[in-house]
Chains A and B, each alone.
Chain A
Amino acid sequence: MAERIVFDPSLYLSEAVDAAAEAYSEHAQINVTAADGSIAAEIAETGEHDEKVIAHAFSNHVLFETIARKQQAALDEGA
């Protein structure tokens, strides 16, 4: 059964979700959809890895990408 994670767009950037999905494409099949004002990622076919662990790690990566991008945007704004 696929793991589904919903990211609130006020907390996570959609481009961060896309970047994380691309980074995890080797480990799992991740389908990103945007609907009803939220971004959802469905994680399946994780191979020998536990789906829950991959889902948690993926969610960490999305948060990391979001923070890094927001920091870079703040730096660019200040420059």
Chain B
Amino acid sequence: MATEGEAQQSRLGFTLGADQVSFDLEESVYPLEAVYGAAYLFLDRCFVYLTRPSADSVGVRLTAQEAGSEDLEKLAGEFANELLSQTLRLKLAQSTARIREYYTAAALRAATSAPSVDELLAELESEELLEDPLEIMVPWEEKHASDQTDGEGTESDPKAKDG
């Protein structure tokens, strides 16, 4: 597919043709994954064609789907912005990959070593829950039954006071 018409340099440094715009990218600056990511988002807006002008660069050519339907310089500018966004996202993903792997592994480890319901019940049964040194489980009446019989009618007995 040969480039049609006379090409001219745009304000932003893109090469503008009659219905297409092209530019080269340094792969050391914009990884190929980022170029793919940006290209994927533009597939429904224009025709995207990639070339290899040299070993370490990628050529991008964007062609309007219908002649005159797109502001080509704006289209290429938006592509370049998206390319930067994709590059940043990729670099962030790479720089945080180890910590994400660590947390995922820790979560999986915790999930596999979590005790089963039977194990939890067995643990509960084995604990001496019925020990009650502070007599918290003893009802008030039962706890103070001896006080009531010993000091009936005294001021310290609230029931005697009411009666």
Chain A residues at the B interface, C-beta cutoff of 8 Å: 3-5, 8, 10-12, 52, 55-57, 59-60, 63-64, 66-67, 70
Contacts and interface: CB of A to CB of B under 8 A. Distances in A.
B22 interface: no
B36 A56 contact: no
A11 B58 contact: yes
A59 B43 CA distance: 10
A10 B1 CA distance: 19
B43 A12 contact: no
B interface residue count range (under 10 / 10 to 19 / 20 to 34 / 35 or more) = 10 to 19
Interface of B: 1, 32, 36, 39-40, 43, 47-52, 58, 63, 65
Nearest to A68: B40
Contact of B47 (A10, A60, A66): A60
Given A8-B51, A56-B65, A59-B47, 16 more contacts: A5-B49, A8-B52, A10-B52, A11-B32, A11-B50, A52-B1, A56-B1, A56-B47, A56-B49, A57-B47, A59-B1, A59-B49, A60-B47, A64-B43, A67-B39, A67-B40
